């Protein structure tokens, strides 16, 4: 499949919009942590999201889709990876500054570039391989293993990267015959069912009007994020689109400062700069390779 320049630009725009939506959703979910436990917040948000996605899927006549045999495994892997990745990342932001957790997540474009080369056969030169490993060193600066900055919640943020890379690569393997809205609906439904199964084992907290409004708003933003994420990863080259994930760091730092009063420390800024810089370098090298 030949990727056109317009496909890459459309994918980049969708990824930037997706990151804005996810950044706002993350801030809203962190606000929800003062009202609900993690699984209750995920369950209630998933109710809203599934209903909204179901309505859109019904309107687009994509509510019931016969998934081609070759797409069933990638779809299953994507759903499971999204479920595990969402749990890990939300656990992190419920218990640590949102900018720190998001900064760790910024290693995803590097991880996706590496994984695409190893598993999808996409060509990656030695310069980008070096950039990837330098970027991962930047992640280690952010979490600082052995210091107070590294704890079990930093581990959850790191683990979410692993699962979300699987999600994106699985999305890439889906054929055009599987509608993006259907993929998003199945993902949301899986989160609803999984958290619903776990819910009886935890204490249900009272749903206040404020908490209800926060989760409803989060559902709207994550709905947009789900759809634009699937569309972005299917629009163009992974190596071109992935660097635009870094725009979420701007949102997370600003929202963390103005809403939660969390100001990133020097090491977090240094590590984030390294990760973003190496990611942008891989983007540059991709353009050089494309021209050749």
Q: What angle do CA 107, 108, 111 make, to 5 degrees?
A: 90
Q: What digits encode the pLDDT tens for the residues 9-21?
A: 888 888 889 889 9
Question: So what's the pLDDT on residue 1?
Answer: 47
pTM: 0.81
What's CA 215's distance to the chain center, in Å? 18
Measured CA to CA, the distance from residue 64 to residue 46 in angstroms comes to 19
Average pLDDT value for the chain: 85
pLDDT at 40 over 90: yes
Question: So what's the pLDDT on residue 267?
Answer: 84
Compute the Cα dihedral for 24, 108, 192, 38 and give only its sign: negative
Q: What digits encode the pLDDT tens for the residues 146-187?
A: 555 556 788 899 899 999 999 988 988 888 888 888 998 999
Report whether 53 contacts 181 (CB < 8 A).
yes
Q: What digits encode the pLDDT tens for the residues 247-292?
A: 888 889 889 999 998 888 888 889 888 988 887 787 777 667 666 6
Split at pLDDT 50, 70, 90, the class of 25 is very high
Tell me the mean pLDDT in the region 18-42. 93
Q: What digits encode the pLDDT tens for the residues 56-96?
A: 999 989 898 889 999 999 999 999 999 999 999 999 999 98
Give the residue extent of every domain in the chain.
Answer: 5-291
Instruction: Burial-class residue 129 by CB neighbours within 10 Å (0-12, 13-18, 19+).
Output: middle
Report whether 100 contacts 275 (CB < 8 A).
no
pLDDT at 215 over 90: yes
Split at pLDDT 50, 70, 90, the class of 4 is low
pLDDT at 246 over 90: no
Question: So what's the pLDDT on residue 220?
Answer: 92
Question: So what's the pLDDT on residue 46?
Answer: 93
Report whether 207 contacts 44 (CB < 8 A).
yes
Helix (H/G/I), strand (E/B), else coil: 290: helix
How crowded is the C-beta side of 130, counted as CA atoms within 13 Å? 5
Residue 192 — φ and ψ, nearest 5°?
Answer: -60, -45
What's CA 40's distance to the chain center, in Å? 20
Question: So what's the pLDDT on residue 136?
Answer: 82
């Amino acid at each position: 499949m030949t990727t056109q320049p317009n496909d890459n630009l459309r994918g980049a725009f969708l990824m930037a919009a997706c990151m804005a939506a996810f950044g706002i959703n993350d801030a809203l979910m962190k606000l929800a942590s003062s009202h609900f436990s993690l699984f209750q917040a995920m369950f209630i948000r998933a109710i809203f999201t599934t209903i909204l996605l179901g309505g859109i899927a019904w309107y687009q006549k994509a509510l019931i889709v016969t998934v081609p045999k070759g797409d069933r495994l990638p779809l299953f892997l994507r759903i499971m990876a999204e479920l595990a990745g969402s749990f890990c990342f939300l656990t992190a932001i419920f218990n640590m500054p949102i900018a720190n957790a998001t900064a760790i997540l910024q290693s995803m474009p590097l991880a996706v570039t590496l994984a695409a080369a190893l598993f999808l056969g996409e060509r990656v030169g030695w310069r980008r391989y070096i950039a990837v490993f330098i970027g991962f060193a930047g992640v280690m600066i952010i979490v600082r293993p052995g210091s107070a900055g590294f704890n079990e919640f930093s581990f959850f943020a790191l683990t979410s990267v692993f699962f979300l890379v699987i999600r994106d690569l699985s999305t890439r393997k889906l054929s055009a015959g599987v509608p993006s809205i259907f993929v998003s609906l199945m993902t949301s439904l899986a989160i609803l069912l999984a958290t619903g199964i776990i819910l009886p084992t935890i204490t249900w907290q009272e749903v206040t009007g404020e908490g209800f409004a926060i989760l409803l708003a989060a559902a709207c933003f994550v709905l947009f994020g789900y759809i634009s994420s699937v569309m972005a990863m299917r629009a163009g080259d992974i190596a071109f689109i992935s660097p635009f994930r870094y725009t979420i760091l701007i949102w997370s730092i600003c929202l963390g400062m103005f809403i939660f009063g969390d100001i990133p420390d020097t090491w977090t800024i240094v590590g984030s700069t390294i990760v973003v810089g190496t990611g942008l370098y891989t983007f540059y090298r991709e353009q050089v390779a494309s021209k050749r």
